[in-house]
């Protein structure tokens, strides 16, 4: 049977239960999936626009839902009703992009299309595999990569300030806990000389958010990363630069060997994979920091009230914040079951 890239997934790795529940409880999500995939098929710029629109809407609704949670009367009816609202927002404006599309059969289809086109150019396995891997990996720096890249930049900047580097360099031999006193001394030195030293000023600008919040942990982690894994991180930076060169050279080569349509198609496929990685890691990945603490608190309250009200004890596997309303459905009276429909 021929693959239909616009059909709602029948299965999804690690998301099978959620996939089925959202299809059943929010049937319009199937139509929404089809609409997005049709609009974005081989159109990376349109995909980026839709991702940003969804992300903005998700933030707006989540902010409203958190406010509602703090102001509402904490009854089981109110909490369940809010939980369904959170699920609806998550399903349509987060999960649909990050999981159903980003981790689903459409992403696999794009990878297979990249392979199909590249095989027309490279028949030898030793040529094909590294180029295919470059196109699938892309040169996108995930959030963790950015931390590693920042650690390289910070170390390079600190080396330009002799009084600082003299203190920092020996810290590599100390335990992680023992280094913190030295790190605090370095921060104090940087603050003192910033008006006289461009390097110090640049470092403090990179750290300004952490310093403003008096949160030293990210600064400590970045310095540890730079001291302990500078060469490894430098290699990663070089690897990403090589991916960039490989992709650029391959796309240029396709213009002489393939039709204009196929050449454009390969370029768009590469950008789509890159936009999918960006959406999952950078656009939506960081929202977990706000979403999950709130959602877990909401879920815990629902469980406590439900167990008390219905004299039940849920098994550990039934307490997932993604599944809790639907696990409770069988225990609820008709008036509460309607909330979950």
pLDDT of residue 48: 96
Long-range contacts of 230-233 (CB under 8 A, 24+ apart): 230/151, 230/152, 230/155, 233/148, 233/149, 233/151, 233/152
Q: Where are the domains of the chain?
A: 16-110+285-340, 143-232
Please give the Cα distance from 265 to 111 (Å, whole number): 12
Rg (CA), the chain: 25
* Residue located via tokens 């496929």: 269
Strands, E assignment, 146-299 = none
Mean pLDDT by 10 residues, the chain (341 residues): 82 82 92 96 96 97 96 91 94 95 92 94 91 91 78 91 90 88 92 87 88 87 90 89 94 92 95 94 88 92 87 70 79 68 64
Please give the Cα distance from 188 to 224 (Å, whole number): 18
Please give the Cα distance from 244 to 254 (Å, whole number): 16
Please give the Cα distance from 118 to 205 (Å, whole number): 43
Please give the Cα distance from 87 to 96 (Å, whole number): 12
**How far from the centroid of its chain's Cα atoms is residue 183's Cα?**
30
Please give the Cα distance from 7 to 75 (Å, whole number): 39
| Buried b / exposed e along 137-148 (16+ C-beta atoms within 10 A) | bbbbbeeebeeb
Please give the Cα distance from 46 to 40 (Å, whole number): 6
């Amino acid at each position: 049977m021929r693959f239909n890239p616009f059909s709602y997934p029948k299965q999804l790795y690690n998301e099978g239960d959620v996939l089925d529940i959202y299809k059943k409880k929010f049937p319009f999500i199937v139509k929404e999936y089809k609409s997005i995939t049709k609009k974005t098929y081989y159109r990376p710029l349109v995909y980026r626009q839709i991702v940003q629109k969804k992300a903005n809407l998700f933030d707006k609704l989540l902010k409203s839902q958190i406010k509602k949670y703090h102001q509402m009367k904490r009854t089981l009816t109110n909490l369940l009703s809010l939980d369904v609202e959170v699920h609806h927002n998550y399903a349509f404006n987060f999960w649909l992009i990050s999981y159903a599309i980003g981790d689903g059969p459409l992403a696999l289809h794009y990878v297979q299309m990249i392979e199909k086109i590249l095989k027309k150019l490279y028949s030898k396995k030793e040529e094909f595999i590294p180029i295919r891997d470059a196109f699938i990996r892309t040169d996108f720096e995930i959030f963790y990569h950015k931390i590693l890249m920042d650690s390289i930049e910070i170390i390079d900047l600190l080396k330009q300030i002799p009084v600082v580097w003299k203190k920092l360099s020996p810290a590599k031999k100390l335990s992680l806990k023992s280094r913190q006193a030295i790190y605090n001394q370095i921060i104090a030195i940087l603050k003192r000389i910033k008006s006289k030293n461009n390097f110090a000023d640049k470092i403090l600008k990179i750290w300004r958010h952490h310093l403003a919040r008096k949160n030293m942990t990210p600064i400590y982690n970045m310095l540890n990363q730079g001291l302990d894994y500078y060469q490894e991180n430098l290699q990663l930076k070089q690897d990403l630069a090589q991916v960039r060169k490989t992709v650029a050279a391959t796309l240029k080569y396709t213009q002489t060997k393939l039709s204009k349509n196929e050449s454009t198609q390969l370029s768009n496929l590469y950008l789509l994979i890159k936009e999918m990685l960006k959406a999952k890691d950078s656009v939506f990945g960081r929202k977990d920091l706000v979403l999950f603490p709130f959602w877990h608190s909401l879920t815990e309250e629902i469980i406590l009230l439900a167990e008390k009200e219905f004299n039940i004890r849920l098994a550990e596997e039934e307490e997932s914040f993604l599944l809790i309303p639907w696990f409770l459905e069988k225990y609820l009276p008709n008036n509460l079951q309607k909330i979950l429909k």
